[in-house]
Amino acid sequence: MALLMYEGFDNWTPSGVASFFTGQVGSAGTGIWSVTLIPSFPAGTLGGKAMNCGNTSSFNYNIGAASTNTMIIGLRYNSNSGTAQVLQFLDSAAAVQCGITISSGHLIFWRGTTATVLGTGTATISTSADNYIEAKIPFGNSVNVEIRVNGVTDISLTGVDTTNTANQNWQYFAQAGTPGGSLVLYDDIYLLDNSGSAPFNDFLGIVRVETLFPTSANGTPQWTPNTSTNVSRVQETAVDSDTSYNSSLTAGNIDTFNHGSLSSTPVSIFAAKVQSFARKEDVTIHTVRNKLISNVTTANGTTRGVSTVYQLQEDYFLTDPDTAAAWASASAINNTKIGYELVS
């Protein structure tokens, strides 16, 4: 699958990240976030939240296995400094291959360290302003690299070496702290490789990730809320562990919910993602799966085992289950239902 991940950070909190997202399972690949000292998740420019990183913060995203395919990544970026790190890209041994940094208000693409500059952009990256940065990076000794700013090519390189180790692969993207105490906001990230079919094997353009939360029950819930109603247990915008939850011991029990509507009318909808957090309380093997209902058609996510600690379960739906074609409109998303099932 060429779509590896997208994230908008809309349900992240500093405490929740350490507890839940490092235990992430079931993304489009097998990706796992790891974060350190993320100070806050302020409001994003287009709604929801953004991830705010300082000079003591760091994060990485591990796709789960080494890839020799081309990395294609996009993200909304906002820094209060003209000199700051954007991202670095690591191999299967977690060694830095290359990276992107802002220096004096312009992008630089480097190998190994910022001292080995492979290319410098001309677009002005204004401080405290959103810029959407995209990069297409093969990992090899003589490859072509393209980096875009706000949909326009800013760096175009031919025949450059993007590998600083003997491994001609990548497995992580990361941010390892920003220099000089600068603060950087990240939002609306997507990650692809070139292994699949269009549109998921090339630049997607300026992408927005919007998160919709449950608003009301769809039909009769079958799980048991720890208090109040089923929907009230799952509609918080930040996971609250055992403070509010629904539980079940009956295989086949399903809860489904209506959710909010998109605040925008997108030109293209690339995918929908359903997320849930689950854990078990006994030694019995239990499995769960997410569900997405479009019109009268139900699509099931992957059936996965449940741990004794909360883990994020997520599934990507690249097409509308009702039509088996690309998502046609905002209304197609707005009218879906989401939920989960205890399989065993």
pLDDT tens track for 170-226: 999 999 876 555 789 999 999 999 998 999 999 999 999 999 999 999 999 999 999
pLDDT of residue 33: 84
State the distance between the two ends of the chain, measured CA to CA, in whole angstroms.
Answer: 28
pLDDT of residue 28: 44
- In angstroms, rounded to a whole number, what is the distance separating the alpha carbons of residues 32 and 169? 18
Q: What is the pLDDT of residues 235-279, one digit of tens each?
A: 998 888 899 999 999 999 999 999 999 999 999 999 999 999 999
Q: Which of 268, 225, 314 is nearest to 11 (CA)?
A: 314
Backbone angles phi, psi at 343, to 5 degrees: -80, -45
Peptide bond into 321 cis (omega under 30): no
Rg (CA), the chain: 21
Q: Which of 273, 282, 260 is nearest to 8 (CA)?
A: 273
- In angstroms, rounded to a whole number, what is the distance separating the alpha carbons of residues 191 and 182? 25
CB 203, CB 74: distance < 8 Å = yes
3-state secondary structure of 3: strand
pLDDT of residue 57: 84
12 pLDDT exceeds 60? yes
Over residues 105-113, the mean pLDDT reads 96
The residues with which 216 forms a beta bridge, in sequence order, are 258
The pTM score is 0.94
pLDDT of residue 241: 87
